[in-house]
């Protein structure tokens, strides 16, 4: 009925109205694809820069040139130089490399731990569920950063203590998400059918419950990567994360604080942008993905 009406009135409509109608849908679609393409391109550039630049560009990121210290951005040094004359572009790429490595490793660890804990709690239910979730609550009542600082302080500075610290403070949200999904899946009749068909607890969890929560867990993992990067930067900025000689985005910003007060903006701005741009790119990608896997519940997983 509606279709026939549209067809009848369409030729009589003025050209402008039709154009407006078209352009409205056009822009709506194009913002979504624009967001997708921008995110893909930015993420791709970030990953490529991190993977390709260090082997291809045979320059020493630690090369000190005191004669050229604190130069503003120029053709020779596109991002300028820091207070001992090191090239900031190269330092930023190496810093991003370390930060991304920490981010991805920590996010993967946190997701695996969170999924295992959440799935166990949800699949077993009863007092196991209650006990595990109270432990999760107890963990999350301590501020993330404080707990992270505590864990890092127990080890010698390096990459892996930071990964452990970020991972051990971030599995909680994943565990909650996975547990909630598993609980909702567990009440479905197909789990009853599997029980009646002789499936063990393990088989029900692995065959029927985990595949159902995997998209959610993977989305949580992707959103965790920028979160973990920020956390690593915060720890490094506080001087507790990676050793100071290692270029990480947090270290770069921390060591450039002094020159910022003297009016040199470039040593802090560029590392800061290197944190923000990948974060936004990943958030955009995750947003598109979230709408794909679950169009109805958009507000559930946010960065």
Residues that bind other proteins (CB under 8 A): 188-190, 192-201, 203-204, 207-208, 211-212
The nearest distance, CB 115 to other proteins, in angstroms, is 17
Distance CA 131, CA 217 (A): 22
Q: Residue 29 or 207: which CB sits closer to other proteins?
A: 207
Angle at 278 between CA 176 and CA 170, to 5 degrees: 25
The nearest distance, CB 211 to other proteins, in angstroms, is 5
Distance CA 298, CA 284 (A): 13
Distance CA 264, CA 191 (A): 63
The nearest distance, CB 58 to other proteins, in angstroms, is 49
Q: Residue 208 or 290: which CB sits closer to other proteins?
A: 208
Q: Residue 42 or 194: which CB sits closer to other proteins?
A: 194
The nearest distance, CB 170 to other proteins, in angstroms, is 28
Q: Residue 30 or 184: which CB sits closer to other proteins?
A: 184
Among 210, 218, 225, residue whose Cα is nearest residue 293: 218
Count CB neighbours of 106 within 10 A: 27
Q: Residue 188 or 257: which CB sits closer to other proteins?
A: 188
Q: Residue 15 or 295: which CB sits closer to other proteins?
A: 295
Q: Residue 217 or 229: which CB sits closer to other proteins?
A: 217
Three-class DSSP category at 296: coil
Distance CA 212, CA 209 (A): 5
Q: Residue 197 or 295: which CB sits closer to other proteins?
A: 197
Three-class DSSP category at 158: coil
The nearest distance, CB 141 to other proteins, in angstroms, is 26
Q: CA 257, 273, 227, 57 torsion: positive or negative?
A: negative
List, in sequence order, every residue forming a beta bridge with 81; answer none if it has no partner: 87
The nearest distance, CB 189 to other proteins, in angstroms, is 4
Determine contact, residues 226/103, Cβ cutoff 8 Å: yes
Distance CA 207, CA 196 (A): 15
Give the DSSP per-residue string, 92-105.
HHHHHHHHHHHHHH
Distance CA 214, CA 112 (A): 11
The nearest distance, CB 111 to other proteins, in angstroms, is 20
The nearest distance, CB 243 to other proteins, in angstroms, is 47
């Amino acid at each position: 009925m509606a279709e026939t009406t549209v067809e009848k009135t369409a030729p009589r409509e003025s050209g402008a109205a039709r154009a407006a109608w078209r352009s409205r849908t056009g822009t709506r679609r194009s913002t979504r694809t624009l967001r997708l393409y921008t995110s893909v391109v930015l993420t791709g550039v970030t990953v490529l820069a991190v993977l390709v630049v260090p082997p291809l560009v045979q320059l020493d990121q630690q090369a000190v040139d005191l004669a050229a210290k604190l130069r503003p951005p120029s053709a020779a040094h596109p991002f300028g130089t820091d207070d001992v004359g090191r090239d900031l572009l190269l330092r930023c790429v190496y810093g991003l490399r370390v930060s991304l490595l920490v981010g991805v490793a920590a996010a993967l660890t946190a997701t695996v731990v969170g999924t295992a804990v959440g799935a166990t709690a949800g699949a077993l239910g009863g007092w196991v569920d209650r006990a595990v979730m109270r432990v999760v609550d107890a963990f999350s009542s301590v501020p993330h950063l404080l707990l992270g600082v505590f864990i890092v302080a127990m080890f010698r500075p390096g990459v892996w203590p930071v990964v452990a610290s970020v991972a051990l403070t971030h599995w909680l949200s994943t565990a909650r998400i996975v547990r909630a999904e598993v609980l909702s899946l567990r009440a479905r009749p197909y789990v009853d059918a599997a029980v009646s068909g002789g499936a063990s607890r393990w088989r029900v969890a692995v065959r029927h419950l985990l595949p159902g929560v995997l998209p959610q867990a993977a989305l949580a993992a992707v959103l965790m990567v920028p979160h973990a990067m920020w956390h690593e930067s915060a720890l490094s900025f506080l001087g507790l994360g990676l050793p100071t000689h290692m270029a990480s985005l947090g270290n770069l910003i921390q060591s450039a604080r002094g020159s910022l007060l003297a009016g040199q903006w470039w040593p802090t701005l560029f590392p800061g942008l290197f944190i923000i741009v990948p974060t936004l790119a990943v958030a955009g990608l995750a947003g598109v993905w979230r709408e794909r896997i679950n169009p109805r519940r958009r507000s559930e997983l946010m960065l």
